[in-house]
Structure 1
Amino acid sequence: MGERLIVIEHEAEAGLGCFAGRLEAAGVEAEVVRPYKGEPVPGRAPAGLLVLGGAAAAWDDEGYGWLPATRDLIARAVDEGVPTLGICLGAQLMTMACGGTVERGDAGLEIGLGEIEPLPEAAADPLLSALPSGPVRAIQYHYDAMTTLPEGAVRLATGARYANQAYRLGDRAWAVQFHPEATPEIFASWTGGGDLPPERAGELNAQVEAAGDELRRTWGKFAEAFAAQLTRR
């Protein structure tokens, strides 16, 4: 049996995506917890924790009643040195859980195929060092932003629209504002919700689809690097 990774999924349309196969191939067993279906958020994640994205605001405890328990779970995992990855909403929840600030983004919606700029600190990072050198492209879809990072956070990547795109907290916890797990199919399901004009949604979908192979190569290596944090414990 592989290492057991607790995965918090906030909605059916925002699952593990391209990470699923990479984690399985690396010997990681993903236990997906779906609190939107009434499944309780566990109190601990002994081997590893991955918190996915979703449409919720990280502070909307009334609308999404499992968010306080998720923030508590993240804070405990970080404190215990458990390999932890927060993606988009998951990154924002980590930021709040560990003393940072998340707010409605003042630059508006960041959506589609975006460019991520690794900072010099990324070169020695166990996850970000797995990426190709120079700027890399990733899927974006968020309204909110991590405006103040937790104390002690090491910023690892930035972007033109929002500065805080990735950071590490301690030795084994990472937060990324973008969506390394998302496939073109998942992205198209998000843009099909009616928030965008059909022409704009079609344009964004086509750009992401054209970059599909590149995204799978780039972020597949990132997923494998995270899996290695579990299997090397």
Structure 2
Amino acid sequence: MTSPRLLVLQPSKSDPLAKLGTWLAAEGVELDLVMLREAPAPATLDGYDGVICLGGEMGALDDLDHPWLADVRKLLSSAVSKGLPTLAICLGAQLLAAATGGQVRKGPQGPEVGILLVAKRDVAGNDPLFADLPFTPDVVQFHSDEVHLLPPGAELLAASPKYPNQAFRVGTSAYGLQFHIETTPEIVLHWADKDPEAAACARPQHFDRDFLEEAHRDIEEVWRPFVARFAQLVRGELSPVGRLGTQLPLV
């Protein structure tokens, strides 16, 4: 059996696949990584079974400085229209929202940074990826922009008090996560060093090595099974929202 193939779009060296790559490789998923500052995004999604779009320090509409952002939004829009399983993280989620009719803006309440909780919405109980998550899972937050308005028809799956649109689904199987689940303590510490002004918005202990290591163990316990379910969706072993599972013949 041929391994499913995912297109991975990485806007910045500062936000690599990290744990997400390890978890997906363990699920037998083939990853085709495109570093967007170094290579063009593919023109189409032909030959791919799904898409991942990672985060970065640029804004979702900063096309003047990063003209390839328009190509990314086009691919994400195409993924939604084709019903391809898609996982878009932080900047990726903002690009997914902008590509499908939502609105992204600078967060009026300032940066959201640290190891924080998000809360599942009731509708998440019917979602194949979110249903089995705990009600208030830990996540890594490190963003200054927000998804201000969700795309038309999108389902809000998780929220936080500061910025409500934390996780959403567009169409049957395209997911946007405003937060991070893929990081390591080293990655988060690097972000804090690069952007001390944003890091100052978090509680100081959130950048202690021991605190980060324990937090990432908790995050892996919750979100690795989530990623495994995403891999099942890519393999066709899990039905997207709005589609019935395989029907057995009547006898």
TM category, shorter? over 0.9
Q: Any stretches of 5+ residues in structure 1 without a counterpart? A: none
CA contact (8 A) 2:117 2:137 kept: yes
Aligned to 2:40: 40
Aligned to 1:167: 168
| SS class of match (1:192) | helix
2:114 pairs with 1:112:
yes
**Equivalent residues in 2 for 1:14-93, closer than 5 Å:** 14-37=15-38, 39-45=39-45, 46-93=48-95
Q: Which runs of 4+ in 1 moved over 4 A?
A: 197-202
CA drift of 1:81 comes to: 0.6
CA drift of 1:204 comes to: 2.2
CA drift of 1:180 comes to: 1.2
| SS class of match (2:169) | strand
CA contact (8 A) 2:192 2:198 kept: no
Q: Which has the larger radius of gyration?
A: 2
CA drift of 1:195 comes to: 2.5
CA contact (8 A) 2:113 2:198 kept: no
| SS class of match (1:211) | helix
Cα deviation, 1:146-193, whole Å, max 9, x if unaligned, reads 011100001100001100001111111111100011122211111111
**Equivalent residues in 2 for 1:61-210, closer than 5 Å:** 61-132=63-134, 134-196=135-197, 203-206=205-208, 207-210=211-214
CA contact (8 A) 2:113 2:199 kept: no
| SS class of match (1:36) | coil
Two-structure CA RMSD over aligned residues (Å): 1.7
The separation in 2 between residues aligned to 1:44 and 1:77, in whole angstroms, is 9
The separation in 2 between residues aligned to 1:107 and 1:2, in whole angstroms, is 43
CA drift of 1:201 comes to: 8.5
User: Which moves more between the two structures, 91-100 or 191-200?
Assistant: 191-200
Aligned to 2:229: 225
The separation in 2 between residues aligned to 1:229 and 1:86, in whole angstroms, is 15
CA drift of 1:41 comes to: 0.5
The amino acid that maps onto 1:205 is F
